[in-house]
Amino acid sequence: MTEGPLCFCRDCLTDLPIAARRCTQCGSPRIARHTALPDLTLAHIDCDAFYATVEKRDNPEIADRPVIIGGGKRGVVSAACYVARTYGVRSAMPMFKALDLCPSAVVVKPDMAKYVRVGREVRHEMRKLTPLVEPLSIDEAFLDLGGTQRLHGMIPAKVLARFARDIEHNLGITVSIGLSVNKFIAKIASDLDKPRGFAALDQRDAATLLAQKPVGFIFGVGPATAARLSQRGFRLIGDLQRAEETDLMKQLGAEGRRLWRLARGIDDRRVIAERDAKTISNETTFETDIKDLATLEKVLWRLCEKISSRLKSGELAGSTLTLKLKTADFRQRTRSQTINAPTQLAGRIFGVVRDLLAREIDGTAFRLIGAGVSALRPAAEASDDTDLIDRRSAHAERAIDDLRKKFGDAAVIRGIAFGSSAKGE
């Protein structure tokens, strides 16, 4: 066991007795405590109501008002502050419904260029803590601080508390931190005490906490899967905990083993720094199974756009393009194709994986679709400008990227993105 405090003040970092309720130095009630605190090194950091918090920071007049980030009355909610959420406003809700629930809300059009800029500032500060930073989105990431105690002169828990304090002071936004032994539990922990939260959980804590949660609480388990599990007698995660691993594997195959492990808080996934990643990928699980090509390709296009964005931001390109499908009975299909030279364009990625998808349309219903790009190389080696057609496509796509950076993601929407009824998790 690593030496270190079991309890400390999150504001001034003073070590405290394990039973302390307030800091004896600064009087703060914000105390971090756990008997395993010195040994917990894996964190999930999530910026609190990120878009809305940035807007409140930049306009103090709306600091105490309910704020909704989104378009006009026919648009949807991109984000909502915690005040607006108390009225029932949620992301992806139609704007007219959000305003019916909270007519006093201040509506702010999204400024993606600003959010990306602030997100990069937060990411820069994360990388001062450890090189093992795995971004999940513009406002959240996993960090592995194992082996950094000597470098920082304090246990990872204190390093993270200091990070949260400094981000709030220097950047004017707040974060919530979950600290644990693996990704799954760290992500759960970061949601426990929002906003400005700091929660530590070990594996035993997680098993107890999870037992009374519905099976849909596990990532990748959507409503359709939850219904199938319920039919088999697995309504709560506790039901999965009581099952034998071999029985779940007989019923559900590899997915059964995954659910058995996660129900107990077991997760072996490592934190992988994106710049060292061997694959850039994205996937989504459907609320209801889908079998028709038209719907699937609309979802696939959005995934390809996200992958392309990550490749561009990481100054990477790849030449092996992969399609991933999971059937309604949890069987996985993976199909790959290698192109002549690396690309980072959404259009080229989609063109290849869409053809792979078309070959799999045989009446089978799918619960998950994903895409990925591997065999990564520096962006300078991409072949996206090698001939006239490629050059025109590349220039058009980059022009769209520029417009979105300036006016937000909704500024330009490709025709293929319209009309999809699929919803990811």
pLDDT over 90 (residue 274): no
Q: What is the mean pLDDT of residues 306-325?
A: 88
pLDDT at 381: 77
Give domain limits for the chain: 1-32, 33-48+114-205, 60-109, 211-263, 281-417
Whether 7 contacts 31, CB under 8 Å:
yes
For the stretch 76-123, pLDDT in tens is 898 999 999 999 999 888 899 999 999 999 999 988 889 989 998 999
Q: Which residues on neighbouring strands pair with residue 317, listed in sequence order?
A: 377
Please name every residue paired with 338 in a beta bridge, in sequence order, or none if there are none: 320
Check 55, 134, 140, 397 and give the catalytic one: 140
Contacts of 316 (CB under 8 A, 6+ apart): 280, 344, 376, 377, 378, 379
Write the CATH number of the domain with boundaries 281-417.
3.30.1490.100
The token duo for 410 is: 């909704």
Element (DSSP H or E) covering residue 33: strand 31-33
Q: What angle do CA 17, 44, 410 make, to 5 degrees?
A: 145
CATH superfamily of 33-48+114-205: Reverse transcriptase/Diguanylate cyclase domain (3.30.70.270)
Distance (Å, whole) CA 357 – CA 347: 15
Cα–Cα distance measured from residue 61 to residue 108, given in angstroms and rounded to the nearest whole number = 13
Answer yes or no: 381 catalytic.
no
Is 211-263 assigned to CATH 3.40.50.1970?
A: no
- In which band, very low, low, confident or very high, does the pLDDT at 401 lie, cut at 50, 70 and 90? low
For the stretch 129-186, pLDDT in tens is: 999 998 888 899 999 999 999 999 999 999 999 999 999 999 999 999 999 999 999 9
Q: What are phi and psi of 180, to 5 degrees?
A: -160, -155
Domain range 60-109, its CATH number among 3.40.50.300, 3.40.30.10, 3.30.70.141, 3.40.1170.60 = 3.40.1170.60
